Structure 1
Amino acid sequence: MAATITVSETDEAKELVAQTEADAVAERAAQISANMVSANSVSGNSVSGNSVSADSVSANKVKVESVDEILEKKASQAPTIEVAIAAGKFDSDEDFSKLVIAQVSYYVNVRDIPSEDGQVVGKLYNNSAGEWLDKDGDWYKIKSGSVTGYVKSEFVVSGDAAVELAKKVGERVAVVTTTTLKVRESASLDAPVLGLVPMEDRLTVVEENDNWCKVSIEEGDGWVSKEYVKVSTEFPKAESKAEEEARIRKEEAARKAALAAANRAASKGKSSGKSGKGGKSSGGGGGSYSASGGGPGASVANYALQFVGNPYVYGGSSLTGGTDCSGFTMSVYRNFGVSLPHSSGAQRSMGYSVGGLANAQAGDIVCYSGHVGIYIGGGQIVHASTAKTGIKVSNAGYRSVLDVRRIF
């Protein structure tokens, strides 16, 4: 369920409003044309033998409505989602007007026809979003990801309710589009640099204005120019049956491969006389910590702990000479035969999600905005934090956790 649907800045709502207004003007013109039929033009015609008089034309002439009246009538007749568009209730820079958002305990089935007898073509998970396409009785036709089908309207929200909910469940994300992004202490190019972020990293947006957005990084919250990031709001999307089956097969294969690699590494360590916790290569006190539990995940965590106190270096991946956060997790897992990308954003899609810290086990990768660490148990992580602190142990909940990924 890592895939997302993105609602970027769009003019679609404006275009639809303009088209609706144009249709209303055309309708009013047609009314005026119909009303111009005079008594003289129809007095010679008969309907069922009765002559149509000037009085009857006058009494029954077409009412000419104003454009505003026509627009109001159209809005009252339209589905809830389209009413919101015509009424212009949405921010001009982001359009949530066609969103439907699932509100269920787990997921709602998406079916190929508007009936409970329809075949299930996918699942729309709680707080996942889709695009509203049509309405058929109590069913909405939606498109979400690769899935197009029908959901029962009682299990989703739309219109104004979806707009408000989108602000709460949507994740506002800034994706870095430059080689090295400078995060500054205030919204100015003259402000001191708080930290650096690499290309394609994904940062949580906590505040924004027209030209700048405040993002969360390991060093704290800082400002970046929108010129160097792509900002959008993301929602989870539906998963088709084929995608679900492929995901399950991939996760199972990854678990088996990683477990085999971990067992090989553990056997190699024993034959070399290593304890699993190991001695730190340099620096501070990894020996004062140990991972909880057992198995390959605990072996990963204990191996990582021996490097506590070693330096942080932006862009680095050396566990002894200096590494950044994703370089740290990458290099630790490389020791166990697992290849991870050197990107905190990309590591958010590795392995499989366990749903949060409550389900975390030693060895899991804990993901934050622009940062990752390795869970060691007891509510703690080991991570390459900042240039000031280097590799250290922290409480896992010291920042908002975006996801927890299990590799083994």
Structure 2
Amino acid sequence: MYRRYRTAGLVLGAIFLASVGMNGMDAQASGLGDSLNTGVASNFSQAADTEELTQATAEVVWTGTPLEGYVNIAIANVEDNLNIRASADGSSQLVGKLRKNGACEILGSEGEWSHIRSGEVEGYVKTEYLYTGQEAVDLAFQLGQTVARVNTDSLYVRMEPSTDADYWTKVPSGEELQVIEEMEDWVKVDIDGEDGYVAAEYVDVTSELDTALTLSEALYGEGVTDVRIAICDFAQDYVGNRYVWGGTSLTKGADCSGFVLAVYRNFGISLPHSSRAQANCGTKISVGDVKPGDLIFYGNGKRINHVAMYIGGGRVVHASNPRTGITISNMYYRSPVSAARILKD
């Protein structure tokens, strides 16, 4: 199980250690609460100037830290979302959005534009809206969120740290859960605002950064009406905004049912402010038959305690918890209880 590396200042320290003889070995930075496992694949002793040092650091894999997988990291310096274009032209096709403080890899530059890749999206953004260099590295360690990634086929999220305890839900392989606390044999996680526990041996704990959202309409599937696409696009515009218990504001904060209520309200549809009440609205449908814009409900067994909106491509958008706010998840990030169709198209 990997542990989060919290101290940004140790990056240069690790490089210094590597430069005095740790070629091709694992460097352990200890005595700081959490550990850093750094795989060094380049000889830093030859890095005599800044340019050579930059090249040398390109061979470093910061395992378990926010920098893992990045060579030339940049962070979005915007108030809401940064548009990602298909080419270095402000009038070119929009291919994605990088959320405030979202991370990307800089692949190159073209005038005032940077060629980036973030998550599944590759394209161009204005360089002026990016934090780069050491500033981006420092921010990455401040912004990284500790997550537990499931490394088994499916995993129970239990109500107490015991295999005898009841469980909230099951989550699939590869799903990421927000970490509250690391314990000896268990990891305490947030499951839509509830405390849950997963066995430490079945998760890898790492620090992750937000990445871009794709705008491909192919995710909606064939035969999806314009109103369904519109409501899904509208809901995704508020990803990254705050979770507030009892809230119904898309900008100032909403809880799960308040978020759904506010989105539908924008399209002239009234819903009650309760996930259990919303489950009785519209037409009940099978989870396997959901279309973009339909609602999916989650809970402990048959008791509903959370609602999300399906947006296509096996994903949902929802107000999850105070740590993540409004976010996008795999629709099976926990076990669905039921689904409802509100739109009558």
Higher normalized strand content (fraction of residues): 2
Normalised TM-score (structure 2): 0.49
Normalised TM-score (structure 1): 0.43
